[in-house]
């Protein structure tokens, strides 16, 4: 997308936010500029996830939510063009992607989203974005507080089983998150509860969740309180909180989480400082000598406005994204793509 097109989308986003709330922070003069801005969606973008094409990474797609009563999942190409829209969904909130769910004897890549107004998760095959869940799978059954919002998928390295960790608008501390084992029954995906865990401050809500498959951990934002860390494997039967960090430096909400992997065990955790239009960056591996201590490495101003959700990959996706792609939702009904090199440069500057 050419610079003029990017500028027009940024102006659209700022105009949109100013109409909603004139107290929103402006984009900083030194903000990282997006490499690409997607076509605008009809309602309200919220959360993206990256699917890597198995044979040609330049054909990878972004799956993002359009959060509304008649919303949907949308697939975008790496130029930000809309490729496909899913069936209509009742307020899809967050989305995550996993590879190789065994259904009817075949491995299927999947996108899983929360559908808030039906209290379900919805499962779609990739890259065709077709539903494979017989109309959806109910979550938080038997609870008064349901309203599913956040979701992250964990693939256990030992046996490649896939689990969905689901958050909600509100819930009890200690069992705020429910974890579901995904599997196939006939030609459809199914899920069963295998774990309930997760402390909650009660300040706002828990929406942003991210899983680190290699390190076997789950991170989630307890908004306006901090970022919590737990083990991801339900078979360990360990619901002890491992870390609580990011309790300072945020203007209000700590939101979307993305994990950039430099190696199998090192990299960065990026968390949206939503009302400041920046991303806070922490070491994925923790501090030297303490994997559960997370010093702030940098704060990066971006052109995204009020970012809810983000994702990142280190995979070479072609000439524009040789060292990976960072993607973040922005008001104005768009997602912003950033070549990772721009983000890495700011991290390096912040660490000097």
CA angle, 258 then 254 then 88, to 5°? 65
Give, for 300, the enclosing helix (H) or strand (E): strand 298-301
State the pLDDT confidence band at 351, using cuts at 50, 70 and 90.
confident
CB-CB neighbours of 10 under 10 Å: 22
Percent share of the chain, pLDDT over 70 = 93
Given a cut of 60, whether residue 127 has pLDDT beyond it is yes
d(CA 95, CA 109): 13
What is the gyration radius of the CA atoms in the chain, in angstroms?
19
Exposed, middle or buried: residue 38 (CB in 10 Å: 0-12, 13-18, 19+)? buried
DSSP H stretches of helix in the chain? 3-20, 340-351
- Report which of residues 8 and 304 the model is more confident about: 304
pLDDT value, residue 352: 62
pLDDT value, residue 22: 53
Query: What are the chain's domains?
Result: 3-351 (2.120.10.30)
The helix/strand/coil state of 57 is: helix
State the pLDDT confidence band at 14, using cuts at 50, 70 and 90.
very low
Give 276's DSSP letter.
Answer: G
Given a cut of 90, whether residue 24 has pLDDT beyond it is no
Supply φ then ψ for residue 280, to 5 degrees. Answer: -90, 135
Supply φ then ψ for residue 230, to 5 degrees. Answer: -135, 165
- CA distances, 262 to each of 112, 132, 276 (Å): 26, 33, 27
Q: Which of 235, 230, 237, 182 is nearest to 206 (CA)?
A: 230
Each residue of 247-260: pLDDT tens digit?
Answer: 999 999 999 999 99
Given a cut of 90, whether residue 187 has pLDDT beyond it is no
Question: What is the reported pTM?
Answer: 0.92
């Amino acid at each position: 997308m050419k610079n003029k097109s990017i500028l027009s989308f940024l102006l659209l986003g700022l105009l949109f936010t100013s109409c909603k709330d004139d107290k929103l922070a402006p984009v900083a003069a030194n903000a990282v500029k997006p490499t690409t801005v997607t076509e605008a969606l009809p309602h309200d973008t919220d959360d993206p996830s990256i699917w890597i094409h198995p044979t040609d990474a330049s054909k990878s797609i972004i799956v993002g939510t359009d959060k509304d009563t008649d919303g949907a999942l949308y697939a975008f190409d790496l130029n930000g063009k809309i490729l496909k829209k899913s069936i209509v969904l009742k307020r899809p909130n967050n989305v995550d992607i996993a590879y190789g769910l065994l259904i009817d004897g075949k491995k299927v890549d999947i996108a899983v989203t929360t559908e808030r107004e039906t209290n379900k998760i919805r499962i779609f095959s990739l890259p065709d974005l077709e539903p494979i869940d017989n109309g959806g799978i109910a979550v938080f059954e038997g609870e008064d507080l349901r309203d599913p919002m956040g979701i992250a998928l964990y693939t256990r390295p030992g046996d490649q089983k896939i689990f969905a960790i689901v958050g909600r608008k509100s819930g009890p501390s200690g069992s705020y998150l429910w974890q579901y084992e995904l599997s196939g029954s006939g030609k459809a995906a199914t899920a069963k509860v295998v774990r309930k865990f997760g402390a909650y401050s009660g300040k706002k809500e828990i929406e942003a969740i991210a899983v680190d498959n290699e390190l076997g951990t789950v991170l989630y934002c307890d908004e306006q309180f901090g970022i919590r860390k737990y083990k991801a494997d339900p078979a360990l039967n360990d619901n002890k909180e491992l870390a609580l960090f990011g309790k300072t430096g945020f203007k209000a909400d700590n939101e979307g989480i993305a994990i950039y992997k430099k190696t199998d065990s090192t990299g960065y955790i990026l968390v949206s400082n939503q009302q400041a239009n920046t991303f806070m960056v922490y070491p994925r591996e923790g501090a030297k000598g303490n994997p559960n201590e997370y010093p702030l490495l940098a704060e990066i101003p971006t052109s995204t406005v009020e970012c809810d959700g983000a994702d990142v990959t280190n995979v070479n996706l072609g000439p524009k994204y040789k060292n990976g792609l960072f993607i973040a939702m922005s008001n104005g009904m768009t997602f912003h793509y950033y070549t990772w090199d721009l983000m890495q440069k700011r991290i390096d500057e912040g660490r000097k």
